[in-house]
Structure 1
Amino acid sequence: MTDCIFYGGKGGVGKTTCAAATGLRLAAQGRETLVVSTDPAHSLADSFGTALGPEPTAIDVEETTATSVPSSGGLWAAEIDPETRKERYERLARALAGDLRSAGIRLEDAEVERLFASGAPAGSDEIAALDLLVEHVDSGGWDVVVFDTAPTGHTLRLFDTPEVMGLALETARSLRGQVRRIGNAARSAMLGPMSMMTGNRNDEDDLAAFQARLERARDLLVDPERTEFRVVSLPEGMAIAESERLVDRLREADVSVQRLVVNQVFENPNDDCSRCRSRRERHEKRVAEIRDTFPDLEVVTLPELEGEVQGLEAVATVAERLSG
């Protein structure tokens, strides 16, 4: 079975670096690994030093000298384009409303927004992530899929989306039933745009299939045997507070949280630099605070590095500190 690892936290804490490093580490352990970025502000391509798109791209790790990297294959990466998915879903929702009106069922713009906007246009990147999660997990082609998620608010919507969209899809299916009672022509008009969501225009159960897909994603997200969420934070008060809120919300959603990564910890001050020693002491206190705040989580620290972590060699240095 395919395992799933999600990295999340506030913006700028290093989620992408952790996801890339974990992918590299897992590939080194002989596991076929896919790293996927669902963050609209993509930087996964920079981490791997390779151009990426929505389809999995093989990462050539043979040239790196890091001992944690295998001599061949095993690592793939992809970046979701949420704007494309958003525009696609908006067109489908509007087309559905137009078809309903043409079939004699009034559906005002405000009703379209109420039924679809909360779960689709505003959250279409989450829908894309869930759809991709199911696609890659059920394909059986990967041992592990590592997700680099968007900042906290987007990530939390990721876990709320199946429920929110479930309500919208139930309403859409009910409306489709009304269209069926009007006649075959109206039914065809209703099914046309929505069938694009599953790629099968002849499948009259397309809405049900799409809803089942979201439910499948929800089952995966809350399965502790398959899915783990790792929170990334910084040794700073605001980041710790946001991490605490994130962990609480994830646990409320029955999502397994086992590890917290504290990134950019200052470790090796110059003995002649009093400011450096003070900064190290401050970070040590923050890390101790994190361990006290999250006593049931494995806390892993990563050192502060000079410059951005870009390219396989840089990512490999981080991978050495992560146990996979």
Structure 2
Amino acid sequence: MTDCIFYGGKGGVGKTTCAAATGLSLAAAGRETLVVSTDPAHSLADSFEADLGPEPTELEDADTPPGLESGDDAGGLWAVEIDPEARKERYEKLARALAADLRGAGISLSDAEIERFFAAGAPAGSDEIAALDLLVEYVDAGRWDTVVFDTAPTGHTLRLFDMPEAMGLALETAQSLRGQARRIGNAARTAVLGPMSMMAGRSDDEDESLESFRARLERARAILTDPERTEFRVVLIPESMAIAETDRLVDRLREAGVAVDRLVVNRVLEDPHEGCPRCRSQQARHEDRLAAIRETFPDLEVLTLPDLEGEVQGRESLAVIAARLPT
């Protein structure tokens, strides 16, 4: 059974670094691992210093970086940056199917008008929909032992977890309208064509596509809320505003039934330079913030990552982070 690890939090706190480092560590421990970026502003390719696209790419084999233990049975490491445009047609097809049935019942609406109606039922964009759709695809493929998700910033993350329920309601409405339209259309055809109306009926294939889409959203919800296989780790930095935002995110995730067991506090100054009063002051401030974080979240494990002073790119620098994160 494929496990899932999500890294979430506001933008710029180091979610991508954490996801990439965790993927590196899992692969070194012998697990086939896929790291997925669902953030529209991708930086996963930069972290791995590799060319990535919208399909999973296996990263080239390389020696395990210093600081990570690797057995004889090291797993494969894969990565992908989700391209929302690559999945857009699937959802447009659902809207066009609804438009066709309504027109068949004599309701004169354009494709654009129907598509706007369909979109109004969902509070998020195609990037969140694609993320949930691909979550199911990657988990159910059985190809990987663990899938690690680098999610979008907090606002996008909240919308992502709202999507199964919100889209389920939208699809219920769409199917109800389609059913009404079809009954009206069938009655009109029967009145005009009599027994020949059976020859003019539409296929049920499109109904199956709507049902299939809704089933996949429900499947995504089941995966996200299964504590036996899914963990959400919130990443933050030692700042007051980040603590408040993290508190809201943790509450929202728990309301949605998503397991949150760990916080990852990134960019903590641990070894200030000798003879640098400003550095010592910053270290003291970070220690105060860490104390506040532990007081605010007494039931969560709090992990800290060092401030590495610069971008974390490449396997060697990722290994420094990976050694501090659980797999």
Taking the aligned partners of 1:293 and 1:187, their CA distance within structure 2 comes to 58
Kept in 1: contact 2:238–2:289 (CA 8 A): yes
Shift, 1:107, TM fit? 4.7
Find the partner of 1:168 among 154, 167, 170.
Answer: 170
Aligned-residue offset at 1:321: 1.1
CA contact (8 A) 1:93 1:116 kept: no
For 1:268, which of 268, 271, 274 is the aligned residue? 271
Alignment-derived partner of residue 76 in structure 2: 74
How far does the alpha carbon of each residue in 1:79-126 deviate from its partner, in whole angstroms, 9 at most, with x for none?
A: 10124434x356435524542343123557666534423427x42111
Label 1:118 to 1:236 Cα distance change in 2 as closer, same or farther (>3 A).
Answer: farther
Q: Tell me if the contact between 1:265 and 1:304 (Cα under 8 Å) persists in the aligned partners.
A: yes
Which residue of 1 is the match for residue 100 of structure 2? Answer: 99
Cα distance between partner residues in 2 of 1:162 and 1:169: 10
Matches of 1:56 and 1:253, distance apart in 2? 29
Measure the CA separation in 1 of the matches of 2:49 and 2:233.
24
Alignment gaps of 5+ in structure 1 = 192-201
Distance (Å, rounded) in 1 between the aligned partners of 2:318 and 2:231: 21
Separation in 2, partners of 1:52, 1:118: 33
Query: How far is 1:306 from its partner?
Result: 2.1
1:178 paired residue number? 180
Gaps of 5+ in 2: 187-197
Alignment partners' CA distance in 1, 2:169 and 2:132: 16
1:215 pairs with 218, 225, 240, which one? 218
Return the alpha-carbon distance in structure 2 between the equivalents of residues 123 and 138 of structure 1: 24
SS at match of 1:55: coil
Aligned-partner SS, 1:235: coil
Task: Report the AA paired with residue 239 of structure 2.
Answer: E
Q: In structure 2, what is the equivalent of residue 252 of structure 1?
A: 255
Contact 2:17–2:47 (Cα < 8 Å) also in 1:
yes
Q: Which residue of 2 aligns with 1:40?
A: 40
Counterpart of 2:147 in structure 1: which amino acid?
Answer: V
Shift of 1:176: 2.5
CA distance in structure 1 between the aligned counterparts of 2:239 and 2:303, rounded to whole angstroms? 15
Q: 1:253-278 CA deviation, whole Å, 9 max, x = no partner?
A: 11100010000011111231111100
Which segment drifts farther, 293-302 or 56-65?
56-65
1:168 Cα deviation after fit: 1.1
Query: In structure 2, which of residues 119, 131, 152 is the aligned counterpart of residue 116 of structure 1?
Result: 119
Mapping for residues 168-317 of structure 1, pairs under 5 Å: 168-181=170-183, 182-183=185-186, 185=200, 187-188=202-203, 202=205, 204-317=207-320
CA shift in 2, pair 1:302/1:80, >3 Å: same
**Residues in 2 aligned to 1:65 and 1:52: alpha-carbon distance in whole angstroms:** 21
* TM-score w.r.t. length of structure 1: 0.89
Cα deviation 1:37-86 (Å, max 9, x = unaligned): 00000000111111111211111241453242647542111110124434
Partner of 1:3: 3
Partner of 1:155: 157
2:306 aligned partner, one-letter code: P
TM-score, L = length of structure 2: 0.88
Contact 2:238 2:268 in 1 (8 A): yes
Measure, in 2, the Cα distance between the counterparts of 1:89 and 1:239.
37
Identity %: 66
Matched residue SS, 1:187? coil
- Alpha-carbon distance between aligned partners in 1 of 2:4 and 2:82, rounded to the nearest angstrom: 17
Which amino acid counterpart does residue 55 of structure 1 have in structure 2?
E
Structure 1: distance between partners of 2:180 and 2:201: 9
Q: Which amino acid aligns with 2:135?
A: L
SS at match of 2:7: strand
User: Aligned partners of 1:221, 1:138: CA distance in 2, in Å?
Assistant: 13
1:198 maps to what in 2? none
Number of positions where the alignment pairs a residue of Structure 1 with one of Structure 2: 310
After TM superposition, the structure 1 stretch with the greater mean CA deviation from structure 2, 164-173 or 58-67, is: 58-67
What secondary structure, in the 3-state scheme, does the structure 2 residue paired with 1:323 have?
Answer: coil
| Cα distance change of structure 1 residues 299 and 61 upon mapping to structure 2, 3 Å threshold | farther
The alignment's C-alpha RMSD in Å is: 2.1
- Matched-pair contact (CA < 8 Å) for 2:95–2:118: no
